[in-house]
Homo-oligomer: A and B are copies of this chain.
């Protein structure tokens, strides 16, 4: 459980600035803390023919086993592998509650993460059978029928954000030390309360970063209802679905969005702000939570 005691250094790409919350799963949870180095130095040659030492992002295979059944192999930066596994299983609806998880053991020697539950998922085989591959790299994997589940979601109508708060949030993210600034090739996601960054996770895949944050939220028993989710990545259908699954009502991205992301956001009543950088942004959906002035 040391991942709860230690803050991972920012340059490692996964950072938690919140103390463990009551209601988190950690009291009963056996968990390793196997974050990997985020960057490696390689030598490249630039346009002047000069040899330059350049940091590049790590990328490691990690096979997730749920109650000894192989689920999937993710390629990850490896900054919060335990949280990634938990969040992946959460967002894939393969584990229903944090309290169901008895242990999470990452072993890089075997590139494996073994997750053991207290109450094994009954219809796991059936769930694994249905494979929907979604956008991102374009071929992300979602088990089950997430789209159908989303229909029933109701996001908090109390949450609010105004332009000043959005700018403060963007400024906090901009100032955050990141692997991206060193090495590029990663996407970053953050969970914020106002302009305070609670979690900041980067990964070679943006969906991994989202899943890792979902895992951290479960571990700390943090609710998404009054939070804002920020991502450097595009707002495709799966990003919006995952944000809604975490019950986060406000989604902010530096990038653009897709038609399905827009459709799902309207369906679940999500406030979606895209192209958010510096003093510019576009408010696409959920206008009722946004105020231009305080």
Q: Is residue A172 contacting chain B, with contact meaning CB distance below 8 A?
A: no
Give bound CA distance, A139 to B22, whole Å: 32
In the bound complex, residues from chain B placing their C-beta under 8 Å from that of A280 are 46-47
Choose from B45, B61, B136 the contact partner of A205 (Cβ within 8 Å): B136
A to B CB contacts below 8 Å, 17 in the list: A40-B259, A46-B282, A56-B259, A59-B237, A59-B261, A61-B132, A73-B132, A74-B133, A74-B138, A75-B133, A133-B140, A135-B204, A136-B136, A140-B141, A183-B256, A184-B234, A204-B234
Interface residues in A42-78 (C-beta closer than 8 Å to B): 42, 44-47, 49, 52, 54, 56-61, 72-76
Mask for A248-290, Cβ within 8 A of B = 1, else 0?
A: 0000000111111110000000000011000111111001000
Mask for A127-138, Cβ within 8 A of B = 1, else 0?
A: 000011111111
Contact check, B136 vs A141: say whether CB atoms are below 8 A apart.
no
In the bound complex, residues from chain B placing their C-beta under 8 Å from that of A262 are 42, 56
Interface residues in A186-240 (C-beta closer than 8 Å to B): 186, 203-209, 233-238
Chain B residue nearest to A84 (CB atoms) is B138
Contact check, A257 vs B137: say whether CB atoms are below 8 A apart.
no
In the bound complex, residues from chain B placing their C-beta under 8 Å from that of A44 are 274, 282-284
Contact check, B256 vs A185: say whether CB atoms are below 8 A apart.
yes
- Known A-B contacts A135-B75, A138-B209, A280-B46; the reply to A260 vs B59 at CB < 8 A is yes
In the bound complex, residues from chain B placing their C-beta under 8 Å from that of A292 are 49
- Known A-B contacts A73-B133, A280-B46; the reply to A184 vs B139 at CB < 8 A is no
Give bound CA distance, A236 to B52, whole Å: 21
Give bound CA distance, A56 to B255, whole Å: 11
- Known A-B contacts A46-B280, A237-B75; the reply to A184 vs B138 at CB < 8 A is no
In the bound complex, residues from chain B placing their C-beta under 8 Å from that of A183 are 256
Contact check, B259 vs A58: say whether CB atoms are below 8 A apart.
yes
Contact check, B76 vs A138: say whether CB atoms are below 8 A apart.
yes
A58-B258, A59-B258, A140-B141 are known contacts; what are 17 more A-B pairs with Cβ within 8 Å?
Answer: A44-B282, A44-B283, A45-B283, A46-B281, A47-B279, A52-B282, A56-B257, A57-B256, A57-B258, A73-B132, A75-B238, A134-B137, A136-B138, A138-B204, A139-B139, A140-B140, A184-B256
